[in-house]
Amino acid sequence: MPIYKSNGKKDGLQKYNVRINYVSESGQAKQLTRVAYGLDAAKDLERRLLHDLKSNGENSVRKMTVRQLFEEYAAVKKYEVRQSTYDKTVRTFEYYIFPTLADVCIDKLSAKILQDWKISLEERDLALKTKKNVYSELRTMFNYAVRMEYLPKSPLVKVGNFKDPLATKQEINFYTPEEFRAYICAAKEMALQKQKAENDLFEWNYYVFFNIAFYTGLRKGEIHALRWCDIDGAYLSVKHSITQKLHNEDVETPPKNKSSIRTIQIPQPLIKILDEHKKRQMLLGNWSSEHRVLGEERCLRDTTIQKRNNLYASLAGVKRIRIHDFRHSHASLLANMGINIQEVARRLGHAKIEMTWNTYSHLYPREEERAIAVLNQV
């Protein structure tokens, strides 16, 4: 009954795969694999699995509950995804899945039980996107159970995904160039006032943050991770991302996907803003190209950025938009000007151009007259 050392650790303990070969009641040779951390835990798991198989046969495998399946699945997933993705998965199960399904044995997940779970989410008046994300997380775990041969097929096929035939595509929110100019003027005025009244240069960080967001379309975490060595004249390289966690922890990781690792050209207004910001930082002394562009030892806090965002919008008399909507503002401006969709996708770091097209295609100028002019020449 072999125990194999595997890649990965948890709380300092080595990951092991516990594999047991057995013959099913129908005479088929089968294999059971589970995960444990630490050699002692792996040996204990092996003993328990053997005991359960001898006592209850294959039924012992099917007695696994949804929560027990998740504990094993999460232990594997933790080493396959970014920390922020892992944390989101844990929260999803705790908030939306465990309250109804945690103690249900996975082989007892009937259509009725799963339909009742879906109804419980419908009654919470959640957004359709949230419900679909929850469904996707549960489906991924059940697919893992199928691969491990705990289940013959995913029980979710019995009920299908959430649907809303009346749902319409939500329009994206963004600033026009005129709105952004009013907004950023309010941000600059506040930074100037703080500098004059309190000799405080830190407020400039927020002014620069929103300029970077608008002029580059970078994700919030990508802006947080920027260092001066990532900026070379008119070019900015995205190499890392930072996720802020509870208790003010910052976790630096690679960007969202391979396409997100990119170098983009930046416009003259932003070059000037960054040069001025660098000079302000140099006045504080001990400057290095390895220093973060924004913040000090820690990056700017997301909660404070959002407060500044709301304040600047109020002072400027423009609508409030989310921080992520500055990314939409960047892409929407380029789309409205007819910039090639592939270039927009590249600047945004989208893994697939379809994502860019599905989001922004309606903003592109119609070219029907030019199309007809071409056809008229045939």
Tens digits of per-residue pLDDT, 153-163? 889 988 888 87
Report yes or no: 219 and 239 within 8 Å, Cβ to Cβ: no
Asked if the structure places residue 8 within a domain, the reply is no
pLDDT attached to residue 55:
67
262 and 123: one domain?
no
Of 123, 158, 193, which residue is a domain's last? 158
193 and 151: one domain?
no
104 and 231: one domain?
no
What does residue 139 show for φ and ψ, rounded to 5 degrees? Answer: -60, -40
Asked if the structure places residue 270 within a domain, the reply is yes
pLDDT attached to residue 246:
56
Question: What's the DSSP call for residue 292?
Answer: B
In Å, what is the CA distance from 307 to each residue of 211, 302, 319? Answer: 16, 9, 14
187 and 153: one domain?
no
How many helices (H) does the chain have, and how many strands (E)? 16, 8
- Cα(33)–Cα(149) distance, rounded to whole angstroms? 9
Tens digits of per-residue pLDDT, 227-258? 999 999 999 999 999 987 655 578 888 888 88
- Cα(18)–Cα(1) distance, rounded to whole angstroms? 8
Planar angle of CA 47, 52, 55, nearest 5 degrees:
125
Asked if the structure places residue 323 within a domain, the reply is yes
- Cα(74)–Cα(78) distance, rounded to whole angstroms? 6
191 and 309: one domain?
yes
pLDDT attached to residue 10:
64
242 and 347: one domain?
yes
Asked if the structure places residue 210 within a domain, the reply is yes
Asked if the structure places residue 81 within a domain, the reply is yes
CATH number, domain containing residue 355: 1.10.443.10
274 and 191: one domain?
yes
247 and 333: one domain?
yes
206 and 341: one domain?
yes
Q: What averages of pLDDT result for each successive group of 10 residues across the chain (378 residues)?
A: 73 78 70 76 78 64 78 82 88 93 90 90 84 92 83 86 64 90 96 92 95 96 95 95 73 87 95 95 87 87 93 96 94 89 93 85 72 77
pLDDT attached to residue 5:
80
Domain span at residue 140 reads: 64-158
Domain count, the chain: 2
313 and 253: one domain?
yes
Asked if the structure places residue 15 within a domain, the reply is no
- Cα(310)–Cα(319) distance, rounded to whole angstroms? 9
207 and 119: one domain?
no
In Å, what is the CA distance from 310 to each residue of 159, 172, 210, 294, 322? Answer: 42, 18, 12, 19, 9
86 and 138: one domain?
yes
